[in-house]
Structure 1
Amino acid sequence: MQESRKIRVGISIGDLNGIGCEVILKTFEDARMLDFCTPVIFASNKTVTYQKNALGFTINYNGVHDAAKAIDGKVNVVNVWKETPKVEFGKETKEGGMYAIKSLRAAVKALKEGKVDVLVTAPINKKNIQADDFKFPGHTDYLAKELDGESLMFMVTNDLRVGLLTDHIAVKDVAEAITPDLIRAKTHLIEKSLQMDFGIPRPKIALLGINPHSGDHGVIGKEDDEIMKPVIKEMKEAGQLVFGPYSADSFFGSDGYKKFDAILAAYHDQGLIPFKTLSFGNGVNYTAGLSKVRTSPDHGTAYEIAGKGEADHNSFKEALFKAIQIFKNREEYLELTENPLKKQKVRR
C-alpha cells in the first residue's frame, strides 16, 4: 500500500432487496468516515442513486469504472453493471441474488489485484445466490477458494472473539465432521489470527465441548472424551495455551469467556447464539486465515425492515473499522517479523 493514500475499503453491496445498501449509505452519510478510509462500493451509479432516493439520503458519490481510479475524500462507486436491476425491498428474488454475486466477484477481483486493500461485505441471502457457477453456502467458503487460505469464521468484538470448528453445515453432520485434524487446523488458524491480526503474542484459547456437558464422561456422547480431550492434551503439551472442552451452557453465563482471548465453538449456533446475545449490533464477522482481510456485519439481509429506513448501521460501521485495524495490525506484524531487530527495540 502506498503511503500517500488512505486505506481503500472495497464494499460489496449485498442483496439489493435487503438492508445492505442502506447500512452502507448510513455509514458514509457521516462525512467524518472519509477521514479513516476511502470507500469503494461495487455496484452501479443507477443502483446507488435508486437506493439513496428511495431511502431519503442526500449523500454524494463519485462514479468510476475501475477501483484503481477511486478518489480519497469521496465515496466511490465502481460501475460493475450498466443496466438497472429491479429492486423489490423485502423480497427474496433470483435477480437480487444475481447482482449480489456480481458485486462480490468484482470486489474480490479488485482485492486480489491490489486495487482495494480490504473487503467489507454487505449481507447476502444464502439461497438466492446459488447458481450453476456459484455453489457456495456463503461468503466464507467462496473467499477461502479465491483468497488462498483455510478460512475460519471468527465473530469478534473488542472483548469477545468466537471462532467455529464447523460453520454452515447441518447439526446432524457436526459430530462426524469434527476430527483431530480439523481441531488442530482451526486452533492453529485462530492462534495465528490472534497473533497477526489482533496483536496478542501468546493467546489463550478455550474449546467448547461437542455434546451437552462435554459428554458427561461418555454418558451423553463419546466424542469429547475420544476426540476433543486427546487433541487438547496434545496441543497443551506442545506449548499452546489451549483449554477445555468446556460445557457450553455454563461457559458464557458464568463469564468464563472473559478469561480467554478467544473461544472455539464446535458448531454454528453453539458459538453464535451467545455471541449475538452479548454483542448484537456491535459484532463483526471476520474471515480469518485468508491472504486478505474481509469483514462483514453480524446480521443478515433483514428483509422485514428493508426499504423502511429502520436499519441499524452500527455493525457495518464496526466491520469497517475492524477491517482497517486488522489491515494495520497485519502490516505491523509482517514488518516486525521481517525485521527482528525492530521487534527487540519495540519490546524494550
Structure 2
Amino acid sequence: MKTKNNIRVGISIGDINGIGGEITLKAFEDSRMLEFCTPVIFASNKVIAFQKKHFGLEVNYNGVHEASQAVEGKVNIVNISKNAPKIEFGKETEEAGKYAFLSLKVAVEALKNNEVDVLVTAPINKHNIQSEEFRFPGHTDYLAKELNGEALMFMVTEDLKVGLMTDHIAVKDVSENITRNLILKKAAKIHDSLIRDFRIRKPKIAVLGINPHSGDNGVIGTEDDTVLKPAVAELFEKGIMAFGPYSADSFFGSDSYKKFDAVLAAYHDQGLIPFKTLSFGKGVNYTAGLDKVRTSPDHGTAYEIAGKGVADYQSFKEAVFTAIQIYRNREEYEELTSNPLKKASGNNR
C-alpha cells in the first residue's frame, strides 16, 4: 500500500481563460498539501508562471517532460506543449479550447498508464473544447469512452451524495430516456460505489420521481407509476435498498435526504440545483463506475470572475482530498475482498 504522501494526483488545467489555473495554484500554495499527495499539473511552465505572477502566488514548482518524472514533495508541471497559448481571462477562445483538450488528453493517458494514480480536472468550456477528437457534452462522457467501466455522474460531499439517471441531455428528452434498465444500472452503480469508494456497508438509496409530486398517481404523468415504482421494487428484491419514488420538490427542503446514503435524481437540474445549494461550494463531481478515480470541483470556468483573483478554491481542494480518499478506500476494499480471513476479522470488530 502506498505511503501517505505519494498519491500522484494528475490535474488537467481546464480552460486557461477561466479560473482553473487560479484555483489549482491557490490550493497548492499551502505547502501542507504536499504531505497528502504529489500534484502533477498538465500544462506548461510558461502558463503556470504567467498565472502565478498574475495572482501573486507563492508556489514553487518543478518542470518535467512526463508524469513518470514527477518528484515527491514538489508541485510538478508536465510540459504538454512547446508553444504557450495566449491567456485572455474571461474570453472564450478557440486556442484555449484546444489547450484544454490537450491537457485532458495527456492527463488521461498518464492515468491509463499508471503514471498518476487519480485525476482531478479543472473546469472546461463545453463549447470551445469541441473538435474532431472531442465531441462530448462534458468530461464524464469522454472519460466513459477512454476508461474501463460505465460512468456515473456522482456529486458528493461527506453528508450528501447525488447520482443522476440522465445527465447532459435536454429536459424534453428526459422521460423517454429513463427506462427500467437505466434505473437498475444507475442504482447498482451508486450502490457499488457507496460500498467500494465510500466504505458504507449497507447503503440506502432514495429515488426521486420524474414528474411533479411523482405523478400524483397518474394525474401528472404515468412514468413514475409504470417505470420508476416497478424498478425500485426490483432493486429491493435484488438486495439493493432503494426507496421511492419521492417527490423532488419537498425531498431536500424537509431534510429527507439525511435519512439516506445517496439520492438518485431523474435529471441534471433536479439533482444538481439542491446539491449545489446545500453544499456551499464544497461539493465534488466524482465520476463513479470507472476503473480509475476522477474528481472535479462542482463549478464551471466562471469567466465573469476570471483573472480577478477572487475565485474560491475550496471545491477544487475538496476534489483533491476526495480523489485521494476514494483511492485509499479502493485499496482497502481490494485488500479485504482478496483476503477473506482479514475481512472476517474486520467484520468482528
Normalising by structure 2, report the TM-score: 0.98
Deviation of 1:3 after TM superposition, in Å, equals: 4.7
- What residue in structure 2 maps to residue 266 of structure 1? 266
Q: State the percentage of identical aligned residues.
A: 70
Q: Which residue type is aligned with residue 56 of structure 1? A: G
Separation in 1, partners of 2:163, 2:284? 12
SS at match of 1:92: coil
- What residue in structure 2 maps to residue 67 of structure 1? 67
Q: Deviations over 1:190-224 (max 9, x none)?
A: 00000000001110000000000000011100100
Separation in 2, partners of 1:275, 1:25? 26
Cα pair distance change 1:2/1:158, threshold 3 Å: closer
Contact 1:10/1:111, CA 8 A, preserved across alignment: yes
Separation in 1, partners of 2:340, 2:171? 45
- What residue in structure 2 maps to residue 144 of structure 1? 144
How many positions carry a matched residue from both structures?
348
Separation in 1, partners of 2:260, 2:122? 29
Q: Deviations over 1:27-57 (max 9, x none)?
A: 0000000000000000000111111111111
- What residue in structure 2 maps to residue 29 of structure 1? 29
Which is worse superposed, 1-10 or 103-112? Answer: 1-10
Separation in 2, partners of 1:207, 1:56? 46
Separation in 2, partners of 1:240, 1:192? 10
Separation in 1, partners of 2:95, 2:140? 22
SS at match of 1:150: strand
Separation in 2, partners of 1:114, 1:133? 23
SS at match of 1:245: strand
The correspondence of residues 103-122 of structure 1 with structure 2, limited to 5 A, is 103-122=103-122
- What residue in structure 1 maps to residue 55 of structure 2? 55
- What residue in structure 1 maps to residue 345 of structure 2? 345
Query: Can you give the 5+ residue segments of structure 2 that lack an aligned partner in the other structure?
Result: none
SS at match of 1:199: coil
- What residue in structure 2 maps to residue 197 of structure 1? 197
SS at match of 1:104: helix
Normalising by structure 1, report the TM-score: 0.99
Contact 2:196/2:329, CA 8 A, preserved across alignment: yes
Deviation of 1:248 after TM superposition, in Å, equals: 0.1
After TM superposition, where is structure 1 displaced by more than 6 Å over at least 4 residues in a row?
none
SS at match of 1:77: strand
SS at match of 1:51: helix
Contact 2:19/2:301, CA 8 A, preserved across alignment: yes
The correspondence of residues 131-280 of structure 1 with structure 2, limited to 5 A, is 131-280=131-280
Deviation of 1:5 after TM superposition, in Å, equals: 6.1
Separation in 2, partners of 1:142, 1:207? 26
Q: Which residue type is aligned with residue 250 of structure 2? A: S
Q: Which residue type is aligned with residue 171 of structure 1? A: V
Separation in 2, partners of 1:42, 1:93? 19
Q: Which residue type is aligned with residue 266 of structure 1? A: A
Q: Deviations over 1:48-101 (max 9, x none)?
A: 111111111121100000101100000000000010101100011111111000
Contact 1:280/1:298, CA 8 A, preserved across alignment: no
Q: Deviations over 1:273-314 (max 9, x none)?
A: 000000031000000000100000001000000001000000
Q: Which residue type is aligned with residue 89 of structure 1? A: F
Cα pair distance change 1:340/1:26, threshold 3 Å: same
Contact 1:10/1:116, CA 8 A, preserved across alignment: yes
SS at match of 1:264: strand
Q: Deviations over 1:92-119 (max 9, x none)?
A: 1111111000000000000000000000
- What residue in structure 1 maps to residue 39 of structure 2? 39
Deviation of 1:2 after TM superposition, in Å, equals: 5.2
Contact 2:152/2:163, CA 8 A, preserved across alignment: yes
Separation in 2, partners of 1:93, 1:277? 30
SS at match of 2:195: helix
Deviation of 1:134 after TM superposition, in Å, equals: 1.1
Separation in 1, partners of 2:53, 2:33? 21
